[in-house]
Structure 1
Amino acid sequence: MHVPDGFIDLPVSAATGAVAVGAVAVSLRGARRELDERTAPLAGLVAAFIFAVQMLNFPVAAGTSGHLLGGALAAILVGPYTGVLCISVVLLMQGILFADGGLTALGVNITDMAVVTTVVSYALFRGLVRILPRTRRSVTVSSFAAALVSVPAAALAFTFFYAVGGTTDIPIGKVLTGMAGVHLLIGIGEATITALTVGAVIAVRPDLVHGARGLSAPLKLRVGGELVDAAPESSPVAAPAAARSSRTVWATGLVTALVLAGFVSFYASADPDGLEKVAADQGIDKKTEPHHNADSPLADYGVEDISDARVSGGLAGAIGVGATVAVGSGVFWAVSRRRTATAAASGSASRSAGGRV
């Protein structure tokens, strides 16, 4: 659902750009409460994993494909504020390196694909978790429902932006019907991927899943190939095992992302995605502008001067995963360090105040 330059006029693009900047600023502040030294690397991995899975377009109808948006997945795994940042990093990497999604439309894409999907999905997820039994299965089921709803919500948001600032004169009813119908189908794929991923992480390290915190079920760690009850976090016995398990999750996730982007992506559907199909059918794309980075050596997810499509696409995907995990991890490490510094300053101030009493 990456909106290119030319679909939305300049005033609405500027307005959504302001919304996106504000949302990122709020998310940077809110992410301090969600991230620490243990979860910051996972957030960088989540961004890279979403980048990789977005390369895997899956067929949803005749001549149409879909791909993961990732807002629900990111919000449930690492928290809603960090989730907005994860998707924003992915969109930034895609726009700058791969000419995917217009640069003047970056505000539209962040508002739609990062903010709307994250806010809608996490609100529904939290509501379902509160009323369902507090089990890991409930978290997985809730993640499925939240992801399913997030995609049509993003489609409706785009329809609103187009109604206000579309550059072509197309009846909004046709746009709404086309976007809602196909993206409901794409939402099923989004929900399946999200539930499978959340369920896989919960099975190994439920304490790393933001949306699963506070479950009554005891934490399990995989030690020596077996799941065992974890000792309390403060225990010196639990810390090394938890650290090893976190590194295993991170390494496994990174390898999975590299395999998906570097190899599996070659077999992804070549059909246009939902927005591209609707745009072509309804004439929304009549005023599409060339991407500002169309001459990027990685444009269109291929490496310049490499003629073999399999090698070119695979190498581009691997580069994208590496760049996304590096940038994302750097951002989230800095946010977590800011939280640590703030906590240390508060603690020092409290001790000083206590000493003066």
Structure 2
Amino acid sequence: MSLSDRWGNIPHIAARLALEDDENVREEQYASYVKLLCDRAPRGQVYWPLATLCRQPDEDNHKSFRDHDLKAAAAYFNKTSIIEELSGHENAQRTDDSFFSCPSQLAAIGGHHEAVEFLLREEPSGYRRSYLLKFLCQHSPPDMVKKFLPGDWTKEYLEDFEHGQKMQDLEEAMRTPSVEIFEMLMRIKETTIYQKLNQSALKALYTTVYYNSWAEMTNHFLELESTYNTRETQSLGYWMTCRRGHTAVVKAFLDHGMELDGKEIGIAAAKGKWELVRFLPGRGADINGGVTPPVVSAVNLEREDLVREFVGLGARLDGEFGAKAVGKARAEGLESMLALLEELGADVSDTANEGKE
């Protein structure tokens, strides 16, 4: 079946999932299933408008969807009755060929532990359990991770060069938002001759934690003394966090000695991370700072409320600051913003802002 045909079968799979829901929410759930399944599906060169896919499927034009595609979708939405129904179906067993991804992986990502347990019983593979652990470690509480730890992860097995992939699986699983899970896995690693994470593994770990802005693990790493957790590494994480706008994690970096550069507030504003913009002045940031000050970003997005708020916090509209804001409003043709800036005291005359857009 072509990629296009499998995309076209998303409505049929969604309709089957919706049959498990109460009738009064079935239509609403159907549309939700379609959207989320589209997010999971590989696009390739296929383009299906969401409005078309959200129509209830026409049974006359139904192309038989693959059982393993339905099984994967059922795992993603924790429809255990469908998973059990498909158990033993030959066409449902080729799970690695699923359109959406491996069913047990999707169940782990969703934190659907009953579905994970059922699927692992159906395919009791040590490889599968090891592979799933990294997803469980990101989406499940510590007690659930402990329950699904591979039983073959003994000292001898992890040290066996032929099974080096297992040590890699263990290290990948350590990229978790939970300190408790990280320490649980670290204790397993410390029983082997590979007691410490090497430079490559540490770099991947720090990058994942900082990129995802996991506050608990960021605090934990900032408190650790490590050869590889250098100020350079932390600085990279800090700037990633500023761009992503996670205030709690930016606070953790600042609490552990990171110094304000002055560009943070402009970066956060350009990304629309207003909570972080509001937080930074309390830590010494200049509300007029950044290559593009927050008030200019607010003008660009036609946010009158934010323009007024930032002016109230000390944003300047005189001189070059006002010229930047007025220049942006003129360049984007934002007449309402020009009127607002004039009301707030900016000079909006053509001569005052000539050449300053």
Q: Could you say which structure has the larger radius of gyration?
A: 2
Bigger proportion of residues as strand: 1
Bigger proportion of residues as helix: 1
Q: For CA contacts below 8 A with separation 6 or more, give which structure has more relative contact order.
A: 1
TM-score of Structure 1 vs Structure 2, range by shorter chain? under 0.3
